Chains A and B, each alone.
Chain A
Amino acid sequence: MTNLAISVSNLTKIFADNKAVDTLNLEVKEGEIMALLGPNGAGKSTTIRVLSTLSGFDEGEIHIGGIDIDRDPETVRRTIGVVAQQTGVEYFMTGRENMMVQGRLYKMKKADILKRIDELAKYFELDKSIDRLVTTYSGGMRRKLDIATALIHRPKILYLDEPTLGLDIHSRKLLWKYIEELNKKFGLTILLTTHYLEEADGLSHRVAIINEGKIQISGTPDELKNNIHGDSVVISFDDVTDKEKAYAEGMKQGGQVIDTLWDGNNLHLYVDNGASSVPPIMEQAAKDDIHVKTLSLARPTLDDVFLKYTGTSMLDTGEEEAEEWWHQWAGKDGGKNWKGNKWVEADGTQKGEWEESDDWQGNDWVNADGSSKEAATTEETQEGESADWQGNEWVNKDGEQKGDWGDSKDWKGNDWVDTDGKPKEDWNGSEQQVASDDSNVTDDSQNESAETTDKTEPASDDTANWQDKEGESADWQGNDWVDANGKPKGNWDK
């Protein structure tokens, strides 16, 4: 048997029409902490799901602890512990009950499970809360319980999918400590995914950068960082003279720095190892009788790493995760059967709708705003308000009606009376109706009534009528648009 805990060769997993994982190769040695580092949608979670037997795959070969995952998934399941992104713990059970059920699913004996629960609870410092309902747990505690349940059957290999996602800094650091100790004390092999550079850096022995379903590069954190840019030491001077320039040139010639770059009075020195290169840099400066005003040391960011190995900034590769779970739930056949199609269909239509409504909003906003903006420049306050109002109007159509109505307070009072006068009669129809409408409004919404009492009478009538006619908004809007703008009326008809 090899001493490889996980060996993945040419793994490909296809969802619908895109390759979530594309000929991925990965090796994790026994007793190692390996981090899969990449942005959302890079294929991290999919890889973990495939390696946990939760998803099938289209091509490739996977051995976990020397066992072919395709031939004997049951044995693989006994070998691994999995902590998924969502904490799958039951909220209406106690910590102990959660662990008990999980232990039972691994066919463990009750006494053995109880012993193991005590061990794990103690280890994760959950012993005081183990008999409390999970609803009372904090996010960090839930995460710890989740990891503890995954360890109930004493697995040799532990997968952690974004273990610290959504945790505060303190809980995150605490969790890192536990993970590190699990590895050191118990020799657990750990494969974790993350998009935090510090997590990959501080916690893991080796890091594999994954993007678009492929491992771009892997190595120890130091190797990767040295490969990337090196650090940059930035020195700023009061003034740049020939002396400083000579110093910079000397540093480069002398081989202490890889490259130099001037940025005003700041000198960027690229070095392999920032911390250890600062003393010689300062010594040289002292020798050359140069006064250094400030010195700062910048370490490569995740984005730098990414830029180097993927050619794109990590910020551009983000992908919405909202519905990813169904994505991941597609079966072994990936996108080749109805599941895939179904998913695409659902997603496709949804996206379509969104885009349409976006465009539509976009156009509309441009129209409404554009015309009103011109006006707004001539008469700032009043027309500005009416611009807002048009804005709100559109938003209304999208469904956020009431809140926005409430917001355009000034408008109801001033704008109406100012711009219109006449139209008021148009909509009111009859005076009696107005009165009854007014009372309706008072009943309906407190805000509204509070407001109407502040205003002058005609204004309040308007508001009332307005509110009431929301149901028949077509007519009313029609009138209104004609009054205020003329043009946008066309939009409404659309």
Chain B
Amino acid sequence: MLSDTWHLFNKYMTITMRMPLWSLFTLIQPLLWLIIFAQLFGNFVQTGEGNYMDYMVPGILIMTVLFGSSWSGVSLLREISAGSVDKMLVAPVSRVAIVLSRVMHSAIQVIAQTLIILAVAWGMGSTITFNPLYLFMGLSIVFLLGIGFASLSNGFAITLQREEPLVMIGNLMTLPLMFVSSAFVPVEFMPKWIQYIAMVNPISYAVEGVRAIMTTPQDIMLFAKDFGIIAVFAIASLAWAVSAFKALRD
């Protein structure tokens, strides 16, 4: 299974590297948000001692994850209709590997994108940590969240079997979920009902965790809690996607 995953992952990476522009395109929106939000909300959102820029960058990172990974299912549908999934399936290949390689590819792509966003944020004067260990820990949450949302997207692709509703769900997963989380606005600023949604929204925890580890002073305990929550979310989503894929086949 692992070698199958590795070879398929390699295949997707090869294809992605042939079209690097595509992954850059998905970066445009988070970059715009980074610039616009910093200017727009920076003046009136009070975030305690730190500046708004630092408060917001983790949110933008998570947004990049959502934009990057929530469309993974669309390409799965394309691959199915193009026959390349069948091509894999006629080989004695692990069915888990097919889903796993896709979400891994998506998550890795997202990591590369977040690194670019980070670089821009530093350029804009953010005081996000340079400590490689903390960065790595923060990115591990990014990675897991990427796995989670890519799995959800793949799972929905298989269950819905159509591109249109999948795109709709993709839209629903991205922006609204962002705004009902603590990504851009501290929870205290929210109306009560949004606070409740934010509490069950995995994005809140991902943002919280990234923020806890990437801004000084680090809060390791908070990070550990959020990491655990996101890990559970990622594993559950992945398990669901794999079982949907298997159910469809056998």
Residues of A near any B CB (own CB < 8 A): 52-54, 56, 74, 77-78, 80-82, 84-90, 92-93, 97, 101-102, 104-107, 133, 149-150, 153, 325-326, 329-332, 339, 342-343, 346
What are the 8 closest A-B residue pairs judged by CB atoms, nearest first? Answer: A86-B83, A88-B87, A88-B83, A105-B91, A88-B84, A104-B7, A82-B90, A77-B92
Check A325–B81 contact: CB distance below 8 A: yes
Distance, CA A93 to CA B17, complexed state (A): 10
> Taking A77-B92, A346-B162 as contacts, is the C-beta distance between A56 and B250 under 8 angstroms?
yes
Check B84–A93 contact: CB distance below 8 A: no
What residue in chain A is nearest B97 (Cβ atoms)? A105
Check A77–B161 contact: CB distance below 8 A: no
Contacts of B92 in A (CB 8 A): 74, 77-78, 105-107
Option from B7, B85, B90, B247 in Cβ contact (under 8 Å) with A77: B90
Check A343–B161 contact: CB distance below 8 A: yes
Option from B7, B80, B90, B247 in Cβ contact (under 8 Å) with A101: B7
Check A77–B83 contact: CB distance below 8 A: no
Check B93–A105 contact: CB distance below 8 A: yes
Q: In this complex, which of A80, A93, A106, A329 has the most chain B Cβ atoms within 10 angstroms of its Cβ?
A: A329
Residues of B near any A CB (own CB < 8 A): 3-4, 7-8, 10-11, 14-15, 18-19, 80-93, 161-162, 247-250
Check A332–B250 contact: CB distance below 8 A: yes
- Known contacts A85-B83, A97-B14, A105-B93; can you find 7 more A-B pairs with CB under 8 A? A74-B92, A77-B92, A84-B83, A90-B15, A93-B18, A105-B8, A325-B80
Distance, CA A394 to CA B87, complexed state (A): 45
Check A90–B11 contact: CB distance below 8 A: yes
Distance, CA A88 to CA B93, complexed state (A): 16
Number of cross-chain contacts by CB at 8 Å: 89
Check B91–A331 contact: CB distance below 8 A: no
Distance, CA A89 to CA B86, complexed state (A): 10
Check A88–B82 contact: CB distance below 8 A: yes
Distance, CA A90 to CA B16, complexed state (A): 12
Q: How far is the CB of B147 from chain A (nearest CB, A)?
A: 22
Check B83–A331 contact: CB distance below 8 A: no
Q: How far is the CB of A143 from chain B (nearest CB, A)?
A: 12
Distance, CA A150 to CA B90, complexed state (A): 9
Distance, CA A326 to CA B14, complexed state (A): 28
Q: In this complex, which of A85, A105, A330 has the most chain B Cβ atoms within 10 angstroms of its Cβ?
A: A105
Q: How far is the CB of B136 from chain A (nearest CB, A)?
A: 30
Contacts of A56 in B (CB 8 A): 250
Distance, CA A480 to CA B14, complexed state (A): 60
Distance, CA A415 to CA B91, complexed state (A): 66
Contacts of B18 in A (CB 8 A): 92-93, 133
Distance, CA A102 to CA B89, complexed state (A): 10
Contacts of B162 in A (CB 8 A): 346
Distance, CA A326 to CA B247, complexed state (A): 14
Distance, CA A53 to CA B89, complexed state (A): 8
Q: How far is the CB of B174 from chain A (nearest CB, A)?
A: 25
Check A342–B250 contact: CB distance below 8 A: no
Distance, CA A480 to CA B4, complexed state (A): 66
Contacts of B87 in A (CB 8 A): 84, 88-89, 102, 149
Q: How far is the CB of A177 from chain B (nearest CB, A)?
A: 24
> Taking A82-B90, A89-B87 as contacts, is the C-beta distance between A329 and B11 under 8 angstroms?
no
Option from B10, B84, B91 in Cβ contact (under 8 Å) with A89: B84
Option from A84, A97, A326, A339 in Cβ contact (under 8 Å) with B86: A84
Q: How far is the CB of B7 from chain A (nearest CB, A)?
A: 4
Check B250–A106 contact: CB distance below 8 A: no
Check A54–B90 contact: CB distance below 8 A: yes
Contacts of A339 in B (CB 8 A): 248
> Taking A85-B83, A88-B84 as contacts, is the C-beta distance between A54 and B11 under 8 angstroms?
no
Check B8–A101 contact: CB distance below 8 A: yes
Contacts of A325 in B (CB 8 A): 80-81
Q: How far is the CB of A81 from chain B (nearest CB, A)?
A: 8
Contacts of B7 in A (CB 8 A): 101, 104-105
Q: In this complex, which of A84, A85, A92, A104 has the most chain B Cβ atoms within 10 angstroms of its Cβ?
A: A104
Contacts of A106 in B (CB 8 A): 91-92
Contacts of B15 in A (CB 8 A): 90, 92-93
Contacts of A346 in B (CB 8 A): 161-162
Contacts of B84 in A (CB 8 A): 88-90
Q: List 7 A-B contacts (CB under 8 A).
A: A89-B87, A92-B19, A102-B87, A150-B90, A325-B80, A326-B161, A346-B162
Contacts of A90 in B (CB 8 A): 11, 15, 84
Contacts of A92 in B (CB 8 A): 14-15, 18-19
